[in-house]
Structure 1
């Protein structure tokens, strides 16, 4: 693994949860971190304060991934603060929110991710890397049934993964690598909480099926590693999970 010291990493959706922990981990390793948020500036500023108090470097930048001009402004601020952008972690996702429109999951998890990549490629340095964060329930949605409340999100996130993966040749031409990090249901995340609320007992059932679910910090550690891991472009890193996911060696079985 290469060092991230001195590198600038933009992390979407990093004002809380997995994104926030990933930001703290990378900053602790010497990276300059851009903590992105959509609406909750105080929460993002708190993450930045914690990073700075620990001796790291970070800035909080508000940007809505569904607004391409907003995303461009975020990258402009990253360059203004740190001089360049060396990596992007596409962590922000959603689709279970109410009142956002029927197509919101696809607009955010596919279209906005694709647009964010288009913007990022105008800024990333040669040798940079894009990391797309997803879930096993989304990555394996074609082989393994998931919970009804998560189907739209899973389908849209898989569509986003496929769209970004199709652009690997374009990224390669620009000297940029692409890596996917997929995790099982994560203890303590908003998504897990919402799913358990929509389908009581879902979290406990998934925990029992998997044997153990990763914590927020454990999954963040896996994501942080993939920023500099010596893997080929297009690599898919599976974090956590059990034999009911095909790539883990087991036959497909319903998880919900």
Structure 2
């Protein structure tokens, strides 16, 4: 996040919803948006104490926030978050689609697709009905998912990567609708992030995975560093559909271009 954003209240009188924000990247993004004046809905699925701690921290710093327990794969859960933003802060102007998953083993074989594609699209469509012109939607993804059609990833992560890519594609198909409503859409794609649950699980399944990716990228971002990049795109005058690549994207972009050239040549 640039210094100008850190020292201004450019999001004052705005309402924001950050999905999956009781911990990690989502929690830090919520804190950063609140520091810029936004009232923030902190969303959690099960861990109320964690979400309440995030809210307490924001309020202690002089910000505004409310915790909402909601499962974004349900219509009631999505509507509860939207209603909380409007009722608590007057409007929903910033929607950060941060929640993701799919490595859970007890939620059904189709859970990754339901969460990473269907729920994201459904929340976008429900929220866009009440978001005013000038609002912004930010979809948070990974290089491993964004480039999955061109660049292989770790076996354990393939279902998640494919479902997140499907989600991004489906969200981009809604851009004409968003443009008619004056709502901007931005994608933030990051490399593996140090300290996240996903990185930990992948490294546990494939020992050395984090170290190998760190060597290939030069370095990996921390949760705080990546969240700062997510928050930084909020309020920027970026073209709708812009993808902000954060850390280590060069090898992915090069591999993707080579693969596309190979396909075009066949």
Indicate the TM-score class for this superposition, using the shorter chain for normalisation: over 0.9
Counterpart residue number, 2:107: 100
Distance 1:233 1:91 in 2: 18
Q: Which has the higher helix share?
A: 2
Counterpart residue number, 1:212: 219
Q: Which runs of 5+ in 2 are unaligned?
A: 260-266
Q: Which runs of 5+ in 1 are unaligned?
A: none
Give CA deviations for 1:187-239 in whole Å, capped at 9, x if unaligned: 11111011111111101111111110011011101100111111110111100
Give TM-score, length-normalised by structure 1: 0.95
Distance 1:138 1:175 in 2: 28
Q: Do structure 1's residue 64 and structure 2's residue 71 form an aligned pair?
A: yes
Residue pair 2:13, 2:89 contacting (<8 A) in 1 also: no
Distance 1:135 1:247 in 2: 16
Q: In the TM superposition, what is the alpha-carbon distance from 1:77 to its structure 2 partner?
A: 1.6
Q: Do structure 1's residue 151 and structure 2's residue 138 form an aligned pair?
A: no
Residue pair 1:131, 1:180 contacting (<8 A) in 2 also: yes
Give TM-score, length-normalised by structure 2: 0.91
Residue pair 2:17, 2:40 contacting (<8 A) in 1 also: yes
Residue pair 2:151, 2:256 contacting (<8 A) in 1 also: no
Q: In the TM superposition, what is the alpha-carbon distance from 1:245 to its structure 2 partner?
A: 0.8
> Could you list the runs of 4 or more consecutive aligned residues of structure 1 that deviate by over 2 angstroms after TM superposition?
247-252
Q: Which is further off, 136-145 or 119-128?
A: 119-128
Q: In the TM superposition, what is the alpha-carbon distance from 1:249 to its structure 2 partner?
A: 9.1
Residue pair 2:192, 2:220 contacting (<8 A) in 1 also: yes
Counterpart residue number, 1:31: 38
Counterpart residue number, 1:52: 59
Alpha-carbon RMSD: 1.6
Counterpart residue number, 1:125: 132
Q: Which is further off, 241-250 or 226-235?
A: 241-250
